[in-house]
Every structure is written in C-alpha cells, then in structure tokens.
C-alpha cells in the first residue's frame, strides 16, 4: 500500500491526521469526519476507515479515562441497542450497496445541521426518543464511513449537555460503539498486518494532535465550544460532499 504513495502524499496523510486529532482534542469528536474524506483522496476507503476507527478507539480511551467522572450514563443506555442494530445493518450493506448516494446524503445532512446549529435558535426538545433514529444512523453511517459522530453530537446537543460532560459522554459512547465496530471489522476480515502497522505508526501523530487540542480546549467558553463543533460539522460535511461528487 505505501509503495503506491509519493512522499508528498504520505506527508499529506500525516498532516490530515494531525489536524483531525487536534480538532478531536478540542471538541471531543470530529477526527473521522476530517480524516476519512481527506485521506480517501489518496488511499482506498477500505484502508482509511478501519485505520481511523482504530485510532479513534485509542483516542476515546484517553478522553474517556480523563473525563470519566463527567460521563452521563443515563444518556448512553438509550442509544446502545439502536447503535448495535445500525452496525449490523452496515456490515451487510457495505458488501451489497453502492455507498455513493449515502455519502452525498450524509454530506448534505451534516451541512444543513451545522448551519442550523450556528443560527441563534433554541433546540425545542430534549426527548430521549431521538436515541432511536440517531443511534441507528450513528451505527449505520459510522460503520460504513467511519463518520457517525455527528448523529451522536446531535443527540447530546438535544440533551443540552455542557462541554465537559459532553466530552466524557461522547468518548464513552465512541468506546462502546467503536468496540462493536472493531469486532465487526475483524470478523469481516478488514484488518491485515499492514493496516495494523499503519495504525501503530499513526499513533504518535494522533497523540500529538490530541495533546495540542486538549490544551486549546481548556480556555473555551460554552458559546465558543458550540461554534467550534458546528464549524467542524460544516467543514466535514462539505468535504464528504466534495469527495462523493468527484
């Protein structure tokens, strides 16, 4: 795999990973949203997604442990069964359905939500019934494209979590969701020795990005935090849409 990449392409992948996990360090999510569509410009999606998902899992371990006292378990339990059903559906669809249409739909959806979130409007409901559709979509889209985070972000935003409980809770959700996805990828034969080596070599870049982003996060106000989350969604949705239309 690496033999088909130029030095500039390898540098591009390294910079993308650094930026993606810098954003993850600030917001608590967003690494896959940035890394998957951009790295897929030079590497196959079947390589990018399993590597990024595994890196995200290590990142979630770090965030989950650091903010373990802030985890809101009552927000996690309603999501879990629906996320699992989405993962099962995605593992089947990955081998039977053309993902292009879903990629376009996902990009459009993220852009629309990001614009809505940036407007000074109050979200009208805190209902836990949103766990069903958003949990299912998180599992389905997250397994297929490695970008299910926006649906979890939307759910936790609807539940009105503050930034520290948000970070701890979303990291724990990613741990549970990521663990189920990793099992699915493993049993489906997506991981090879070469992919595991790519992940190992990428760990220092991930750690540096999250460390830098974590230091930026400490001085953020709640308003600024919401703005950063929304801008990340807007940029990621645009990148996904551009990749799908290329």
pTM of the prediction? 0.67
Instruction: Give the pLDDT score at 218.
Output: 56
Instruction: Give the pLDDT score at 205.
Output: 93
Angle, helix 131-145 to helix 31-39, in steps of 10 degrees: 40
Residues 30/167, Cβ–Cβ less than 8 Å: no
Instruction: Give the pLDDT score at 14.
Output: 92
State the Cα–Cα distance between residues 187 and 132, nearest whole angstrom: 26
Instruction: Give the pLDDT score at 15.
Output: 93
Instruction: Give the pLDDT score at 237.
Output: 77
State the Cα–Cα distance between residues 62 and 203, nearest whole angstrom: 12
Instruction: Give the pLDDT score at 23.
Output: 82
Residue from 239, 195, 206, 204 nearest 36 by CA: 239
Tell me the DSSP string of 175-220.
HHHHHHHHHHHHHTT---HHHHHHHHHHHHHHHHHHHHHHHHHTT-
Instruction: Give the pLDDT score at 149.
Output: 74
Go through 28-63 and write b for each residue having 16 or more CB atoms within 10 A of its CB, e for each that does not. bbbbbbbbbbbbbebbebebbbbbbbbbbbbbbebb
Angle, helix 45-66 to helix 7-27, in steps of 10 degrees: 30
Instruction: Give the pLDDT score at 208.
Output: 92
How confident is the prediction along the chain (246 residues), in pLDDT tens digits per residue?
Answer: 544 677 888 899 999 999 889 888 877 777 887 888 788 777 877 778 888 888 888 877 766 666 666 677 777 788 888 988 988 888 887 777 666 776 777 678 778 777 877 776 665 566 677 788 888 988 888 787 777 777 887 888 777 777 777 777 877 887 787 788 888 788 877 777 888 888 888 999 999 998 888 777 556 666 676 677 778 778 777 876 877 777
**Three-class DSSP category at 191:** coil
């Amino acid at each position: 795999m690496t033999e088909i990449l130029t030095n500039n392409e390898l540098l591009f992948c390294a910079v993308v990973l650094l930026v993606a996990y810098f954003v993850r360090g600030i917001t608590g999510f967003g690494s896959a949203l940035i890394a998957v569509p951009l790295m897929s410009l030079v590497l196959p999606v079947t390589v990018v997604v399993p590597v990024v998902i595994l890196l995200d899992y290590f990142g979630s371990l770090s965030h989950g442990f650091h903010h373990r006292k802030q985890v809101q378990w009552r927000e996690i339990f309603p999501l879990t069964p629906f996320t699992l059903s989405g993962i099962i559906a995605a593992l089947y669809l990955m081998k039977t359905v053309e993902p292009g249409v879903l990629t376009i739909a996902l990009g459009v959806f993220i852009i629309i939500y990001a614009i809505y979130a940036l407007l000074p409007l109050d979200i009208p409901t805190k209902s836990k019934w949103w766990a069903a559709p958003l949990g299912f979509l998180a599992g389905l889209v997250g397994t297929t494209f490695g970008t299910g985070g926006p649906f979890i972000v939307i759910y936790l935003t609807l539940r009105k979590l503050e930034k520290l409980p948000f970070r701890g809770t979303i990291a724990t959700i990613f741990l549970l969701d990521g663990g189920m996805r990793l099992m699915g990828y493993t049993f489906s034969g997506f991981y090879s020795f070469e992919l595991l080596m790519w992940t190992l070599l990428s760990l220092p870049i991930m750690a540096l990005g999250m460390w830098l982003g974590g230091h930026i996060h400490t001085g953020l106000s709640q308003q600024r935090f919401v703005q950063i989350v929304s801008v990340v969604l807007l940029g990621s949705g645009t990148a996904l849409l551009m990749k799908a239309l290329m």
